[in-house]
Amino acid sequence: MDKSPALFLLLTLGLCCPGIHGQSNVFKIRSRSDITQLREGQRLELECQSDKESGAFWIRQDKSGTLHFIVFISSISRSTFNRGYSTSSRFEAGKDNKIYWLVVKSFTPQDEGKYFCLMNVNQMLHFSPGQPVFLPVTTTVAPTASRSTPRQGTAEDPNTKTPDPERTQEELNFFCHIFIWVPLAGACLLLLIALVIIIVLCQRTRRRRCRCKR
């Protein structure tokens, strides 16, 4: 959609004429489809309905405010695109009764902007209200770290082993032997010591008696 010298010539002539209208109720512009659902690569269909049949221009205003000529549709439904071509690989245009329509065959980001219908009626330049056409803004959502869901219940310790009943019984028997036989051994030792002491005392007593009889 390059800038067209014919468009600027028309605008210059219009500005020199009295009764210039920035926007007019001469015609209304609307979309044949839902623009809010427009996606890249889809068809964009716009139409401009007027009560006049003096021909209409389609122009686009980009984000920077620059005007771009698209096509001029005459009152006999003849389309003239940029550089005087009658056809375009990117656009289709025509006239049905008093409706001037424009089709963007495959919408791209460079086609975004405000679309206007423009007429020169009785030496007065009329602009339609601008139709904003933009692709939906896509927001990138930051990936969230997935949290592992803890398992319900008590987690099993891999180091935990099932106790062996036989080994447990042997350990119990071992402790029983310690608590029983150690005191018995101690008691026997004390008895033995006491017995030895008694024997020694008895022998001394006998010796004393024997000395006394002599």
Report the CATH number at residue 100: 2.60.40.10
Closest CA to 50 of 151, 4, 118: 118
Residues 124 and 39 in one domain: yes
Phi, psi of 169 (to 5 degrees): -65, -40
Specify whether 27 is located in the same domain as 115. yes
Q: Do 178 and 96 share a structural domain?
A: no
> Domain range holding 203?
170-213
> Does some domain include residue 199?
yes
CA distance 71 to 4: 10
Structural domain total, the chain:
2
Q: Are residues 39 and 118 in the same domain?
A: yes
Nearest residue to 69 (alpha-carbon basis) of 12, 10, 20: 10
Per-position DSSP letters for 42-85, written without gaps between them: S-EEEEEEES--S-EEEEEE-TTS-EEEEEEE-TTS-EEEGGG-
Residue 147 has a pLDDT of 60
Contacts 24+ apart (CB under 8 A), 155-161: none
Distances in Å between the alpha carbon of 18 and those of 31, 110, 123, 148? 31, 35, 8, 74
Residues 92 and 188 in one domain: no
Q: What's the N-to-C CA distance of the chain in angstroms?
A: 156
- Tell me: do 100 and 176 sit in the same domain: no
- Chunked into runs of 10 residues, the chain (214 residues) has average pLDDT values of 50 45 67 88 94 90 95 94 93 93 96 93 85 86 62 52 60 61 75 84 74 58
| Dist CA 31 CA 47 (whole Å) | 6
Residue 112 main-chain phi, psi, to 5 deg: -70, 150
At 106 the pLDDT is 96
